[in-house]
Amino acid sequence: MFINRVAHYIPDLVIPNAHFEKLNGLTNDWILERTGISERRRATEGENTNTMALEAVKKGIEAGLPYDISEINLIVGGTYSPYDTVGTLAHVIQAHIQVADIPVVSVSSACSTLLNCMEIVEGYFAMGKADKAIVVVSEHNSLYHNETDPMAGHLWGDGAAAFFISKEKQSETDFNVSQIITGGAATVGKGTEGVMLRPRDGGINMPFGKDVFINACAYMSKVTKDILENNGYSLNDLSYLVPHQANLRISKNITESLGLSENVALSNIEYLGNTGCAGAGIAFSEHQGEYKKGDKIVLVVFGGGYSYGAMLVEV
């Protein structure tokens, strides 16, 4: 399948590290050393998971598609921080594009949701139930986080990304999705306890950050290597790595363990914070003007629960 267009949306409100020094005593240097984060974006009044998803989709449409929007016959939305669990972000997109009677699906597998959304599209395409789709991922972390929590309150940012996808190639600028690998890893470590979002019990919590770090590094490194080898490539063939934007130390650990240059890994966590399942999508979108014909790009993710995945994209 092919990515025809990708777009993203981030809110205007900037929250610098100085905010947390005043709030709970965490200094700029302390946060930078442990996470790489200098600032993050936060949704403002009137913005939520659904509105940010819609803005990302609007930007994609405005940039131009190689087909009419009325040809979309599948919408898959992903988030773990929903505004509405019934009228989901995917339904909001359907209402906007005004295409009736098509499959509209919303899923969550924590921060690895983007690739599960892509895999769902892959399945619909394979079954002949659709041939043009929108995948949109959006997180409103600031709705659920406890910013006074000294362990994780300073990590989170808000934002959204949208992918327009077709079964067959539509134009010379399309990105070819060569393979997607996903898996659950709830059987290891603190899988179901490492990261939690319990709205009635403190919101987003990360009581076992070290376990999350260890397993994120291990799984993201392994699945990156696996997906390249599955397609006949080596690590030397990799043009860009787009990791889940959880912690700059995780990205650096992965590149080091794989023997990659740090410049290969695309990053936005420094100025956006952890934007959950939208993070890798936003980073992929931000850098799309830099990709060249022949480039091989791996998006790799890891989420609470635990779950993981990789997607190989060829330009």
- If one counts the domains in the chain, the total is 2
Q: How far apart are CA 281 and CA 11, in angstroms?
A: 15
- pLDDT value for 307: 97
- How confident is the model at residue 4, as a pLDDT? 98
Task: Determine the pLDDT at residue 202.
Answer: 84
Question: 28 and 18 in contact (C-beta within 8 Å)?
Answer: yes
- What are the helix (H) ranges across the chain? 18-24, 28-35, 49-63, 89-97, 113-126, 141-144, 209-230, 248-258, 269-272, 279-286
* Same-domain check for residues 15 and 155: yes
| Interval 206-228: pLDDT, tens | 888 899 999 999 999 999 999 99
- Are 149 and 186 in a shared domain? no
Q: How long is the chain?
A: 315
* Res 205: pLDDT: 83
Residue 71 has pLDDT above 90, yes or no: yes
Q: Which of 115, 142, 166 is the last residue of a domain?
A: 166
Query: What CATH number does residue 35 fall under?
Result: 3.40.47.10
CA 81 – CA 158 distance, rounded (Å): 10
pLDDT interval class at 302 (50, 70, 90):
very high
pLDDT recorded at residue 259: 96
Confidence (pTM): 0.96
161 and 225 inside one domain: no
Does 211 share its domain with 284? yes
Residue 44 has pLDDT above 90, yes or no: yes
Which domain range does residue 261 map to?
175-314
**Last residue within a domain, chosen from 166, 194, 217:** 166
300 plus 263 within the same structural domain? yes
**73 with 44, same domain?**
yes
Is the pLDDT confidence value at 203 over 90? no
Average pLDDT of the residues in 234-252: 96
Mean pLDDT check: name the lowest of 106-115, 187-196, 278-287: 187-196
For 117-175, the pLDDT digits (tens) are 999 999 999 999 999 999 999 999 999 998 888 888 999 999 999 999 999 999 999 99
237: its two tokens: 């063939």
- Identify whether residues 66 and 118 lie together within a single domain: yes
CB-based contact 313:297 (threshold 8 Å): yes
At residue 199 the predicted structure's pLDDT band, cuts being 50, 70 and 90, is confident
The answer on 35 and 127 residing in a single domain is: yes
Question: Is 128 in the same domain as 265?
Answer: no
Q: How confident is the model at residue 201 (pLDDT cuts 50, 70, 90)?
A: confident
Q: Which of 137, 166, 195 is the last residue of a domain?
A: 166
